[in-house]
Amino acid sequence: MYAIEQIKEYLKPEGRLVLSNLKKEIKMIGEQVQEDEIVENAGIAVRGLGGLKQYLAVLTSNRLLTTDKQKNFLSYDLGKISNINFNKKLTTTEMGFTYDNKEHALSFNNVDLSLAFLSEIQNALGILPPSQVETEERKIVRVMKPIKMSIEILNGKEQLKDQGSVFKLSQTKPGTIEISVNNLSPETFKLVKWERVENIQKSAFDIAGWSLIGSTLGNAGSIAGAMGANIGKDKSVATLFLKRENDEKVPLVIKCDKKDLEKLSLLIVAEEEESTQTSVTPSPSSAIPTDELIKLKELMDAGIVTQEEFDAKKKQLLGI
């Protein structure tokens, strides 16, 4: 199952021994992940004297999944978890919470990976600990839940600052989004707009037009190739139009299902309108846009645009 592979991917930094010791739990929990859920992260919880006994904890878009002492499956709906508190001790941090009118607790060693997993849980629950309070037991302040989702990038991943296979998108303030690769520090972009792709050829033409203005996406023909080869029967494709602080344009083509589209619809784009989305006719005195014409010709040769579309765009670029 895909969920099992996702869990393994998150646990890889823990080492092969951990993956081997938790093999049965990974399979059991992975098989319980529902089709409409996304595996957001996985971590190693501890119990017993000195925290020597390890067990699996998995965070999905809907639930927190783990096991009890007898290795029976446990599931907590995120929307039903309340009274959350974090108690940081010498070597471990305990997460206490109320669920179904009962008190529960999960403990994690104070190592970077475990603390990152706890931070992921805080974000999923829409809570933030006040950083200025350095006490052993931190009080939690509930805030508006950010938008978070895992994404599968079909084209454009080479433009991100880090390389990897696990991509996560989040928005905590309007107009910007953060994208992290393999749980590393996220990169922040301005969100110009996003569009669902219904016509692959038209979309490839539009994305190429955007990239011609300044993006480093590369050969426009490869965009449509990736899109056409990767769309599944139950999947759609969307394009994120992003900008870095230096105004470098970063279009990302991503695969998405119905749930992903619902989350994308909640994203708030930057107030500044993207002027490059409107066509500008060059003046007759402007230099001939050779690069643009070459890339348009590549699109036509690849069968992405028709001769008529090429001729129309050519006239527009040359101001004919």
With a cut of 90, say whether residue 37 has pLDDT above it.
no
SS3 per-residue string spanning 22-54: CHHHHHHHHHHCCCCCCEEEEEEEEECHHHCEE
pLDDT value, residue 119: 86
pLDDT value, residue 136: 44
pLDDT (average), residues 288-292: 63
With a cut of 70, say whether residue 71 has pLDDT above it.
yes
Give the C-alpha separation, 64 to 50, whole Å. Answer: 24
For the chain, the 3-state helix, strand and coil shares in percent, each to the nearest 5, are 35, 30, 35
Cα angle: 245, vertex 248, 253; to 5 degrees:
110
pLDDT (average), residues 37-57: 86
Q: How confident is the model over 211-223, as pLDDT tens digits?
A: 543 344 444 444 4
Give the C-alpha separation, 252 to 254, whole Å. Answer: 6
pLDDT (average), residues 219-229: 49
Q: How confident is the model over 175-217, as pLDDT tens digits?
A: 899 999 988 889 999 999 888 865 554 555 555 556 543 344 4
CA–chain centroid gap for 167, Å, is 5
With a cut of 50, say whether residue 154 has pLDDT above it.
yes
Q: What share of the chain in percent tops pLDDT 90?
A: 25
Give the C-alpha separation, 81 to 78, whole Å. Answer: 5
